[in-house]
Amino acid sequence: MHLSEVKEGKTVRIVKVGGNSILRRRILEMGVIKGTDVYVEKYAPLKDPLELIVKGYHVSMRVEEAAHITVEEIK
């Protein structure tokens, strides 16, 4: 599943960060790396961007960018 498909209020774990090298580097610099737990706090009223909580801080990300991040549900 991709991060862009996760519902509000769910926590997921990052499996893979894809995208071109510039986009991938920017995402990794925000702390979104393999093995990190990410909480999807909310989507904007028009569903773009989404607000995440990563390692205790808030990050806004476009849905298009989140589609490059593969995640798994935490059980």
The Cα 48–Cα 26 span in angstroms is 18
pLDDT tens across the length of the chain (75 residues) = 999 999 999 999 999 999 888 989 998 998 899 999 999 999 999 989 999 999 999 999 999 999 999 999 997
Q: What is the pLDDT of residue 4?
A: 93
Domains in the chain, start-ordered, CATH in brackets? 3-73 (2.30.30.90)
pTM of the predicted model as reported, rounded to 2 decimal places: 0.87
pLDDT at residue 1, rounded to an integer: 94
Nearest to 67 by CA among 46, 42, 44, 50: 50
Sole residue written with tokens 């990052």: 14
What's the confidence (pLDDT) of residue 19? 84
As a whole number of angstroms, the distance between CA 44 and CA 28 comes to 23
